[in-house]
Structure 1
Amino acid sequence: MTALADRPHIMETEHFEEVARILARLEEGARLELIDGQVRSKPMPDGDHGRIIQWLTRMCMQHRPELWLDATQGLRVQSYRGGRARPDGSLAPSEAFVGQGEWADPGPVLMVVEVTSHDSDTDRRDRVEKAHAYAETGIPIYLLIDRQKCQAVVYSEPDGARYDNVHTAPYGKTLHIPDPVGITLETERLKDWAH
């Protein structure tokens, strides 16, 4: 798996989906993505990573009970090269992915979430490539929980190539996520999982 992350490969979407299915069966937990035509392996989340997603799921449910933060659904991203991403969370109406299969239409998604991992690829993957892919796809909000920098970053107003608005809040500060999500988070608890 490390070889895939170290040497990105250009691959067609159909071939990628087949390889991802095979590897998932052979190596339990293998999580592959196709971003900008390059295959990447996504590290398995650690306990703190999982706890952040649990906390965020609870916060979203309290403020927007008609929505669900799905931590398992793959999304079709980027019309160019037919990208495939596995966000750490996709906030959408609770029935949005019914009947969609492994790679869902991102149309109903209001926000995607990524939590940085402790690997050498996180800077390029989460801070650059994913921000570009999600903006190009037109997903209204991208929330990046950056454990290395101890901050949360809200990307909004996608223009088809990038997000026009980027707001950063250090852990401990109040973070407003604009419409169409429209919730405010108190980020003090994130300090507990910044290791």
Structure 2
Amino acid sequence: MHYTKEDIDNLDRVTRIRIINSVTGIKPANLIGSMSNEGQTNLAVFSSIVHLGSNPALLGFILRPTGEVPRHTYSNILENGFYTINHIHPEFIEKAHYTSAKFHQEVSEFGPCGLTEEFIEGFKAPFVKESQFKIGMRYKQSIDIPLNGTILVIGEIEQLILPEESVVDDDVDLERSKSVGISGLNSYYSLSKLDRYPYARVKEVPDF
């Protein structure tokens, strides 16, 4: 199957979203937890979280255009300055998926989606208790992307909680942590580790 730009432009909206959201392959499936200064919590599924650097430890995620659709996660982050990133595991994929529904701002997705708020003393955003792999973030910067109206939200890791058994030889094994991936809007995948290689140096490249 071969799509030209014209073919892509002529696809109906839903089909285009499903295809283009899948072409990057498997992406990390995470729940972002946030809270307003009034204590109203929010939880939403994201598949756009990316590593931006290790020193300082920065992660970014893409926020779709704010426009007519309210972005409670973003307004909470700007107001509060903190948020959490929580890996999704097989035991609660369905619950996590339904946090993407457009709940009213006064409704915390934790309740109707059957997930549990968890707080760490001194950190002003809710973690997901059911998640075994959790990251506490402090907001640093937003970068507007004029091409499509999206926003790159950048934060620094302040808390990192992960299962001890997932750290092997100073490497994080996502299969052991049972973290899942996502493709498109609603397809979830388990992750299987295929192999591990040494840091690549030119003089050590095998003779293929």
TM-score (norm 1): 0.25
Higher relative contact order (CA 8 A, sep 6+): 2
Q: Which has the larger radius of gyration?
A: 2
More helix per residue: 1
